[in-house]
Amino acid sequence: MVNVILFLTILLFFSYAIYEQFLIEKRKGQTKLKVPLKKQHKIDSLIFIGLIIILVYQSFTQSGYISSTTLFLLAAIIILAIYNTFFRTSMLIFKTEGIFYLNIYIDYQKIHQLNLTQNNILIINLKNKKSLFAPLAREEDGQRVVNFFGADK
């Protein structure tokens, strides 16, 4: 049962990665601008990896045995966690009619205001009074967003 859950987790991660890397580009029209977001939550991923290592260690010391399939699947999850934390970059994708932010599509009609802070965080104020914070990876990306909306005139 554990191996099935681990395998399904890996399968879900791969399907999500394929969607994010290839399919989101084709949804909701042509991509006008892609801006990388700052990487966050590295410590959380390191804690997760540490917990998996502790789990494997405890299994070896208490029962003396862990299935090679389970060990392989746990190693695959550790590799995926490392990839997700240190190599994959989240993107803010501007389309013709809206924005993809953290894989959620926001139509331009639902956006009340966009603000760019001095520390390079794009604040998306929605018409329903909610705010989304998108920390941009580089300072020049903020300028690209400003130029995209033509606010530099």
pLDDT in tens, 67-111: 888 889 999 999 998 888 888 888 889 888 888 988 888 898 998
Residue 103 Ramachandran class (φ > 0 left, ψ -120 to 50 alpha, else beta): left
Residue 99 Ramachandran class (φ > 0 left, ψ -120 to 50 alpha, else beta): beta
Residue 34 lies in a domain: no
pLDDT value of residue 22: 84
Indicate whether 152 pLDDT > 50. Answer: no
Secondary structure (3-state) at 39: coil
Instruction: List the domain range (segments joined by +) for residue 12.
Output: 1-27+40-87
Q: Which long-range contacts (CB under 8 A, 24 or more apart) does 22-26 make?
A: 24/93, 24/100, 24/103, 25/93
Shared domain check, 80 and 7: yes
Reported as a single tens digit per residue, the pLDDT across 4-55 is 999 999 999 989 888 888 888 888 888 888 899 888 778 888 898 899 889 8
**What percentage of residues in the chain have a pLDDT greater than 90?**
10
Shared domain check, 78 and 5: yes
Report the CATH number that the domain containing residue 95 is assigned in CATH. 2.40.50
The Cα-based distances of 103 to 1, 27, 66 in angstroms read 31, 11, 37
| Tokens found for residue 41 | 């939550």
Shared domain check, 83 and 105: no
Residue 117 lies in a domain: yes
pLDDT value of residue 151: 55
Shared domain check, 96 and 82: no
11 vs 62, more confident: 11
65 vs 133, more confident: 133
pLDDT value of residue 11: 94
Residue 35 lies in a domain: no
